[in-house]
Every structure is written in structure tokens, then in C-alpha cells.
Amino acid sequence: MRTESIAEFVQATAAAVAAARLLRLGLARRQRALFTFLLSNALSLFVLSSLPTNSALYFWVYIACNFLNPLIAVYVVREMFGLTFDAYPGIRSAGRWTTYGLIGVALAASVVVSVMSWGGGRHGGSNLFYVEIVDRSVVMTLAVVILGILLFLSRYPLHLHRNTHVSTGFFSAVFLSEAAAMLIDNLSPRLYSYPTDLAQIAFGAVCFAAWGMMLQPQSDGVPAPVAFETVREHELLLELDSLNTLLTRVGRR
């Protein structure tokens, strides 16, 4: 087996273990999108790692993954807004619609780039080139949205459950590493950097394994510990409430 195939198989196994942990702990129902993300990664990587890279089946599985993975990622980001801003419906709704708008702009920009390069240049005759343009545009856009969510989490004391922090944190790490690898690929002479992609696969495997290990049983019957807020935390929560109220009023108009 190729080194990359072995790495993909290891990453697929780690993703399957993390998905099984979500299911076993009863978290798959609350984190459906994250469970779908883990399961799709496990299945697609198992298939890709078992096929010759020069086969037609590998090509079509790769194309299918390029279409499905961005859709699943949008689903996950939508769920992340729900988990993170469960108590702030105004912010949650505004974040989702902003995400949809940014993705629409990214898709429009990718169509413009495709039309401008159609039939000419070094990659103009390759349909795969246009598929990659759309895929990487959506991934980069979602990376910006995820960074915005992480910025909120670092600024405001939202007191989320540990499992929410674990799942959203490791998904963000995996997705942002994929976005960084794509950016390096875009700057490479052949739009592909083997060492970068191999390093990203290894990093993703570590994240999936740690994701599964750090999840804990979540019982609704156990009362949450009392959190004593500092003056600064109280001010930040008031700021967040004001922003939520403003966005809720705007959304009703």
C-alpha cells in the first residue's frame, strides 16, 4: 500500500471510532451533523484508501466526495451555531444567514473564475479544475465562518457543556487544517503538495482519535455546577444579550 493510503486508512479508523463514541454516549442525536461528518469521513477514506489512485472508480469517488463534503460541512457549521448560541436565537439566526450569504458569494465568484478560464490556459481543458475551484471556494468561506465562531467562544463566557467544546473544537481543527492544506495546494506549481496533504491526513487522524477519547457521558439528570461570574464576565454576557436582542428585532422586520 502507498504511504498515503495507509495514512487515509488510519484516519478513517480514527473517525469511525469517534463516530462510534458519539453513538455509544447518546450524543449522535444532539450532534447529528458532527456524527454525519465523522461517518462520511470514515466511509470515504476507507473506500479511497482501498482503491488504486489511477482507477476510474477512485476518480468518481473523489468527485463525489468533493460535492458531498462541502454540503456536510455547511450542515455542521449550521449545527455549530445551534450548539454554541442555543440561548441566543438572534445571533444563531444571523450567523446562519450570514453563512448562507457568504457561500452564495463564494459560489458566484467561483462561477466567474470558471467562465473566465473556460477552454484556455494550463487548466482550462480539465473539468476537475472547475470542481476544485468550487470545492475550495466553499471550504475557504466556511473556514472564515468557523474562525468567527471560535473568536466568539474565546471572547464570551458561554458556559457550554464539555462535549460541545470537544466536538466543535476538534471539528474546527480538522476543517481548518484541510483549508490550510488547500491554500498551500493552491500555491503549489501543480496545485498539489504531497507532503502537505500527508501531514494534514496525519493531523486529522490525531484529532479524530483525541475527539473520541475526550468525549464524556452526558446525563440530563445531573445538575450543572454553579458558575460564579466575575464582573468582566457579567459585562460580556450583558453585551451578548444586547447583541442578541438587536439581531432578533432586525430579523423580525
Q: H or E segment at 10?
A: helix 3-24
Q: At what angle do helices 56-84 and 127-155 cross, to 10 degrees?
A: 20
pTM of the model as a whole:
0.84
Where do the domains of the chain lie? 3-252
Classify residue 176 as exposed, middle or buried by CB count within 10 Å of its CB (0-12, 13-18, 19+): middle
Sign of CA dihedral 208, 221, 93, 231: negative
CA count, 13 A, side-chain hemisphere, 108: 6
Report the pLDDT value the prediction gives residue 222, as an integer from 0 to 100: 45
What is the model's pLDDT at position 22?
95
pLDDT of residue 185: 82
What's the pLDDT score for residue 223? 44
The predicted structure's pLDDT at residue 47: 93
Residue appearing with cell numbers 430579523: 251
The predicted structure's pLDDT at residue 31 = 93
pLDDT of residue 39: 96
| Secondary structure letter of residue 226 according to DSSP | P
Regions of the chain where pLDDT drops below 70: 1, 113-130, 191, 219-229, 251-253
Report the Cα 191 to chain-centroid distance in Å.
22
* pLDDT at residue 154, rounded to an integer: 82
